[in-house]
A and B are shown apart, each in its own frame.
Chain A
Amino acid sequence: MLESFFTRAIIAGVGLAAVTGPLGSFIVWRRMAYFGDTMAHSAILGVALALFFSINPVAGVFGIAVCVALILGFLQKRGTLSADSLLGLLSHSALALGLVLVSLMPNVRIDLMGLLFGDILAVSVTDLAFIYGGGAIVLGVLAWLWRPMLAGTVSEEIAQAEGLNPERTRLIFMVLLAGLIAIAMKILGVLLITAMLIIPATAARRLANTPEQMAIYAALGGIAAVLAGLWASLHFDTPSGPSIVVAALGVFTITSILPIRSKGAAQ
């Protein structure tokens, strides 16, 4: 079954969407879209460094993404520049540094388009193992820390006062995000990862009454987008990563215009 590249692509995409849904919901709730984008952009630098030191690119991407998150946290504490500007600084510097570094390695040729937009059709069985193993860890930790993470999202002060240690959960959340970016990099590329974090979650918002519902609907919407996008890319011969994102946009559009009675309003 895993011999067909298309089957592998579907399995990889579904596994990824199941993780981006819940994690992306937190990104949306915490207004961290640009932060996710910055971490994703830094993945180029991660790949370049991994090539330079001949280590696994997944490890390189993960390491650099965590570093960028820590640097950002440190710069934010100094507090002279807004988070917005700092993200812009880090995001594009990491991207440019990575590209420059790659060009300095004469015997290395990388598929730049693949890095930027991913290539889900080139997924190997090893990649599948990374996606499902890593994805299970990310989802497991998220489920385990769900309550403190959500409490910290609603109010860090309440979480701190009532003994839930929001600083620690915030740090763990960044590590989870770095992990997801590392495993999603090959499939979606650095430019489209954020799309799969943000779009399914926003599409789920109108249908959900609780945070848990939104996380689950976001995962389901993402899976639907993967299936529709891959089908379209096969049918119309369009690039697979962008097709998936366009399909996600379609899901968002559908849920936006669905006539939904606003449940639970005061009677």
Chain B
Amino acid sequence: MENFVPQKRDEIVKVTGIGVKRDGRWLVRGVDMSIGRGEIVTLIGPNGSGKSTTVKTALGILAPDEGRVWRAKKLRVGYVPQKIAMDRSLPMTVSRLMTLTGRHSKPEIARALDITGIGHLSSAQVHSLSGGEFQRALIARAIIGKPDLLVLDEPVQGVDFSGEVALYDLIGRIRDETGCGVLLISHDLHVVMARTDTVICLNGHVCCQGTPDIVAASGEYAALFGPRAAETLAIYRHEHDHAHLPDGSVKDASGHLHFDHHAHGPHCDHDHGPAAKGHGHA
């Protein structure tokens, strides 16, 4: 039996061997996952691979049929679900949405909306928002309570590519500023890659797990998403910052396609060789 006491002192959520069964069929089984404060964990996997199920189980929305879920005491959660079926008969302004699950002052609301870039929409009806604006409103709502854990289930639906990059950038910035843990579901490792610490590749069970580099290089990832996806990712890794030329000189990224405007700053810890280092999530 595995020791269930969290190993890292800053761990906020840990699930061990969880499985969820519906109508006699396992949606997911044997999933281990842990999220630490300030860590961004990304779940990727094809449709129906159990990403949402895993997240909902970790949050206590679903009860696991086997395995255990541990959450830090008094954990404040900010949740952006995949779907919201809000009836059009419910009038709701963006600023009213911010106080859905807790009381917040006007300046707090204004700040949350400013951070997510929708300050000008505070009195707009939620039903009138575009897909991207709605996602931003939901993210603003999730972060306004200063959560210890921010959970986003496919936060970029209905958002175009540049908006997608900006949203992931925003999530990374929120993490940097508040130090919260982030659990993210995405089907696009491509874009989240630069910001994520740990990737868990899911297909009913954990296929592979580790830093983005390790996952991208793994055979399981290629098997799950096809060799093309793995290739694109590998190319992306070398394009997004700078390239090492055969003669040993470094060619900078000017003229290259920029997916992300982060500089090669202190946060950037990716390696340039094939031997990527791990984060200890064996």
Question: Which residues of A does B touch, CB under 8 Å?
Answer: 28-31, 147-148, 150-151, 153-155, 157-164, 201-202, 205, 208-211, 213-214, 262-267
Q: Is the CB of A160 within 8 A of B60?
A: yes
> Nearest residue in A to B84 (C-beta to C-beta)?
A155
What residues of B have a CB within 8 angstroms of the CB of A213 in the complex?
91
> Nearest residue in B to A31 (C-beta to C-beta)?
B87
Considering the chains assembled together, what is the distance between the CA atoms of A28 and B20 in angstroms? Answer: 33
Can you list 28 A-B pairs with a CB-CB distance of less than 8 A?
Answer: A28-B87, A30-B87, A148-B101, A154-B90, A157-B56, A158-B81, A158-B84, A160-B60, A160-B61, A161-B59, A161-B61, A161-B79, A162-B77, A162-B79, A201-B89, A205-B91, A208-B91, A209-B93, A209-B96, A209-B123, A209-B125, A213-B91, A214-B90, A264-B123, A264-B124, A265-B125, A266-B120, A266-B128
Q: Is the CB of B101 within 8 A of A29?
A: no
Nearest CB of B to A121, in Å: 33
What residues of A have a CB within 8 angstroms of the CB of B151 in the complex?
161
Q: Is the CB of B92 within 8 A of A162?
A: no
Which residue of A29, A162, A264 contacts B93 across the interface (Cβ within 8 Å)? Answer: A264
Nearest CB of B to A129, in Å: 34
Question: Which residues of B does A touch, CB under 8 Å?
Answer: 56, 59-61, 76-79, 81, 84-87, 89-93, 96-97, 99-103, 120-121, 123-125, 128-129, 133, 145, 151
Which residue of B56, B89, B97 contacts A29 across the interface (Cβ within 8 Å)? Answer: B89
What residues of A have a CB within 8 angstroms of the CB of B124 in the complex?
264-266
Considering the chains assembled together, what is the distance between the CA atoms of A205 and B89 in angstroms? Answer: 6
Which residue of B89, B100, B145 contacts A202 across the interface (Cβ within 8 Å)? Answer: B89
Interface centre among B59, B76, B91, B129 (most CB of A within 10 A): B91
Q: Is the CB of B121 within 8 A of A266?
A: yes
Do most interface residues of chain B lie in helix, strand or loop, or is the interface mixed?
loop
Considering the chains assembled together, what is the distance between the CA atoms of A30 and B86 in angstroms? Answer: 9
Considering the chains assembled together, what is the distance between the CA atoms of A97 and B105 in angstroms? Answer: 53
What residues of A have a CB within 8 angstroms of the CB of B128 in the complex?
262, 264-266
> Nearest residue in B to A28 (C-beta to C-beta)?
B89
Considering the chains assembled together, what is the distance between the CA atoms of A30 and B151 in angstroms? Answer: 25
> Nearest residue in A to B75 (C-beta to C-beta)?
A163
What residues of A have a CB within 8 angstroms of the CB of B77 in the complex?
161-163
Considering the chains assembled together, what is the distance between the CA atoms of A263 and B127 in angstroms? Answer: 12
Considering the chains assembled together, what is the distance between the CA atoms of A19 and B92 in angstroms? Answer: 21
Interface centre among B86, B100, B125 (most CB of A within 10 A): B100
What residues of A have a CB within 8 angstroms of the CB of B129 in the complex?
266
What residues of A have a CB within 8 angstroms of the CB of B84 in the complex?
154-155, 158
Given A209-B125, A265-B124, also A157-B81 (CB < 8 A): yes
Q: Is the CB of B59 within 8 A of A211?
A: no
What residues of B have a CB within 8 angstroms of the CB of A161 in the complex?
59-61, 77, 79, 81, 151
Nearest CB of A to B72, in Å: 13
Q: Is the CB of A210 within 8 A of B93?
A: yes
Which residue of A31, A147, A205, A266 contacts B101 across the interface (Cβ within 8 Å)? Answer: A147
> Nearest residue in A to B81 (C-beta to C-beta)?
A157
What residues of A have a CB within 8 angstroms of the CB of B93 in the complex?
209-210, 264
Q: Is the CB of B81 within 8 A of A211?
A: no
Interface centre among A31, A163, A201 (most CB of B within 10 A): A163
> Nearest residue in A to B82 (C-beta to C-beta)?
A157
